[in-house]
Amino acid sequence: SQQGEEDPQALSIQEGENATMNCSYKTSINNLQWYRQNSGRGLVHLILIRSNEREKHSGRLRVTLDTSKKSSSLLITASRAADTASYFCAMPRGVYSGAGSYQLTFGKGTKLSVIP
Amino acid sequence: GAGVSQSPSNKVTEKGKDVELRCDPISGHTALYWYRQSLGQGLEFLIYFQGNSAPDKSGLPSDRFSAERTGGSVSTLTIQRTQQEDSAVYLCASSFGTSGGAPQYFGPGTRLTVL
C-alpha cells in the first residue's frame, strides 16, 4: 500500500536554525500533505502540494515535491521551540478513483525537537 | 467554528469489555475518518464515511470493530470484547468534500488503554 517514509526519524536543532524533513513514497500520487502532531494527540494540517506543483510556501514552511524521485521535503525556517512536534507526510491511497481514494496513508513521522 | 471533538479523551477499560468512542465532526463536513495510532507509530486507517454510509471499511482490524454515523454528523466507533492490543489513540478526522485533495481536520483523539 502507498506509504510515505519520513527521514530522519528524529531531528534536534537549536532555536533559530532551519529544519529539513524528507518524505519518500512508492507510487504515483495526486497530492502530498504534511501534518504536525503535538504530544501524540490530534494532527494539524500544515500544507498540501499537488502533483503538478514543485514548491509551495506557507509562512515559515516551504514544501517541495519531486515526482520523478518520488520525494518531498518540508523546510521550517527560523525554528522556534513551539515547532517541537512530530511531522508526518500523508497521501491519498488511490488516485481519485473508487473507494480508498480519500483515505490518507501516513508515514511514521519525524520527531523534531527545537532547543531554546 | 468549533473543530472536531472526541469523547472521552481517555478511556481505561478491562479486557473483554465493550467501549464506545464518539466523534463530532466540523459542521458541514461530509466525510469522516477514523484512524488509530499505536505508540510511536504512524496512523492506521480504520474506516471512512461519506454522509452516513461507509464505502471503505477495509481498515477495520477485526469484526470486533464497528462504526456508524447518523444524521451525517456524529460517529461512534465501537470495539467489542476489547483486547490489550486495542490500546492506542483513536483519532477522528473530517473533511469538506471527498476529494483526495481535501485536507483532513483531526480531533484530539481518545487514548484507549485496555488492562
A39 and A24 in contact (C-beta within 8 Å)? Answer: no
Q: How far is CA A65 from the centre of its chain?
A: 10
- Is B10 an 8 Å CB contact of chain A? no
Contact assignment for A103 to B103 by CB distance below 8 Å:
no
Q: Is the pLDDT of residue B54 over 90?
A: no
| Residue A6 grid cell | 519520513
* Interacting residues of A59 by C-beta distance below 8 A, sequence separation 6+: none
Number of domains observed in the structure of chain A: 1
B4 and B106 in contact (C-beta within 8 Å)? Answer: yes
Closest CA to A32 of A51, A13, A7: A51
| Residue A4 grid cell | 510515505
Mutation target among A49, A56, A102 for the B interface, most CBs of B within 10 A: A102
- Name the residue range of residue A78's domain: 5-115
The owner of cell 507526510 is: A89
Taking only the tens place, the pLDDT of each residue in A68-89 is 999 999 999 999 999 999 999 9
Domains and CATH numbers, chain B: 5-110 (2.60.40.10)
d(CA A78, CA A104): 29
Closest CA to B51 of B74, B76, B77: B74
Taking only the tens place, the pLDDT of each residue in B64-102 is 999 999 888 999 999 999 999 999 999 999 988 766 567
Q: Which of residues 29-88 of A touch B (CB under 8 A)?
A: 30-31, 33, 35, 40-45, 48, 50, 88
Return the CATH number at A39: 2.60.40.10
Residue B99 is predicted with a pLDDT of 61
Nearest-CB residue to A42 (from B33, B48, B106): B106
Taking only the tens place, the pLDDT of each residue in A102-113 is 678 888 899 999
The per-residue DSSP string of B46-88 comes to EEEEETTEEEE-TT--STTEEEEE-TTS-EEEEE-S--GGG-E
